[in-house]
A and B are shown apart, each in its own frame.
Chain A
């Protein structure tokens, strides 16, 4: 199979998943209830992507001090609460993660 064909097919699929449901000709009516459920989508998805990265080490739940991800995550939560600045939080959070990695 030509690599280019695969690349374009996958690209079309990804684009479709992003584009299709925003199309006005699609008869998709979202009720008030659905809209309210959808209003929780950002915190739900972002947390569901981030949590396994933080809590799972080698396919196991890791709640020990030896889990750098977990310690750095707690630091990030504090930074986010105190600074309310995403860029500062990300940069300081990454620095503390790298420090933890070297120190522990």
Chain B
């Protein structure tokens, strides 16, 4: 793999343009999570959090799956240790994202590392990972991250205001919106056999893990799929991609 390519902007105009390009790129993903954000806000109220705490779940934790998991646990009076272990399992995929983004983000000044680190969700990773964004652009990543943050928090606010009146929102098949977005992002990236092998491995192993009710199936299926894709590339082309 070649040295990380990084975009350097000379004018503010270009920075603003990149910022909005990043925001535009994440709009489809933001649209897909809006119902989830509403649900998260409404469930937080239902779980007995006050409105400020409910908003803070999205505002400071900013991780949908973790938020939903800990809400129930806090409500049930589970201890902090167990809450942290669950949160760690769910959030562990971010270690992978940051490892991938390391070569692009680690040379940036601290304020950029803090900002992009805080904003590094599944969705930001999906638009700003090196496979998707050939030349890393910090303004593009910031625009995408902030747009998504804003969307998630506004949706949460909507859910808080609506309160518990969205009881059957989760019966609408909101999870399909997430699946559809991820599929829509993956499909155009299947440009060669190794990526196809990786995707098929991820598909089969993640489904097997789920059927076997393995709690952290993602921690098994994702690395396995990555290594299988890599091994296939090595075996067929001598590792050239």
Bound pair (A, B): yes
The chain A residues found within 8 Å of chain B, CB to CB, are 1, 3-11, 13-15, 17-24, 28, 30, 32-33, 35-56, 59-61, 68-69, 72-73, 76-77, 79-81, 84, 86-87, 89-91, 93-94, 97-98, 101
Which of B12-20, B147-155, B156-164, B219-227 is near enough to bind chain A? B219-227
For A17, the chain B residues whose CB sits under 8 A away are: 88, 91-92, 94-95, 98
Q: How far is the CB of A41 from chain B (nearest CB, A)?
A: 5
Report the tally of A-B residue pairs with Cβ distances under 8 A: 275
- Whether the pair B173, A18 counts as a contact (CB closer than 8 A) is no
From B100, B114, B187, B226, give the contact of A19 (CB < 8 A): B114
- Whether the pair B226, A46 counts as a contact (CB closer than 8 A) is no
Q: How far is the CB of B172 from chain A (nearest CB, A)?
A: 8
For A37, the chain B residues whose CB sits under 8 A away are: 226-227, 230
Indicate with 1 or 0, residue by residue over B223-241, a CB within 8 angstroms of chain A CB atoms. 1011101100100000101
- Whether the pair B205, A48 counts as a contact (CB closer than 8 A) is yes
A contacts with B: majority SS: helix
- Whether the pair A56, B80 counts as a contact (CB closer than 8 A) is no
Using A17-B91, A40-B226 as known contacts, say yes or no to A46 and B80 having CB atoms under 8 A apart: no
7 nearest A-B residue pairs (beta carbon): A19-B117, A80-B187, A87-B28, A47-B202, A52-B210, A48-B206, A44-B225
For B49, the chain A residues whose CB sits under 8 A away are: 3
For A91, the chain B residues whose CB sits under 8 A away are: 28, 31
> Could you list 10 further interchain pairs (A-B, Cβ under 8 angstroms) beyond the known A50-B183, A51-B202, A59-B210?
A18-B120, A40-B194, A40-B226, A43-B189, A45-B93, A55-B207, A59-B213, A60-B211, A89-B28, A90-B177
Using A6-B74, A37-B227, A41-B100 as known contacts, say yes or no to A22 and B183 having CB atoms under 8 A apart: no
For B96, the chain A residues whose CB sits under 8 A away are: 38, 41, 45
Instruction: Indicate whether B102 reaches chain A with its CB closer than 8 angstroms.
Output: yes
A69 nearest CB neighbor, chain B only: B176
Q: How far is the CB of A31 from chain B (nearest CB, A)?
A: 10
- Whether the pair B211, A90 counts as a contact (CB closer than 8 A) is no
B contacts with A: majority SS: helix
For A41, the chain B residues whose CB sits under 8 A away are: 96-97, 100, 129, 222, 226
Most buried by A among B70, B122, B183, B222: B183
Q: How far is the CB of B215 from chain A (nearest CB, A)?
A: 13
| Interface band, chain B | 35 or more
- Whether the pair A47, B186 counts as a contact (CB closer than 8 A) is yes
For A53, the chain B residues whose CB sits under 8 A away are: 175-176, 178-179
For A59, the chain B residues whose CB sits under 8 A away are: 210-211, 213
- Whether the pair B94, A18 counts as a contact (CB closer than 8 A) is yes
For B233, the chain A residues whose CB sits under 8 A away are: 36
Q: List 25 A-B contacts (CB under 8 A).
A: A7-B61, A10-B70, A10-B87, A22-B105, A22-B113, A22-B116, A23-B106, A28-B102, A36-B239, A37-B230, A40-B194, A42-B100, A42-B186, A44-B225, A45-B96, A45-B122, A48-B206, A50-B179, A52-B206, A56-B210, A61-B211, A68-B176, A72-B180, A93-B176, A94-B180
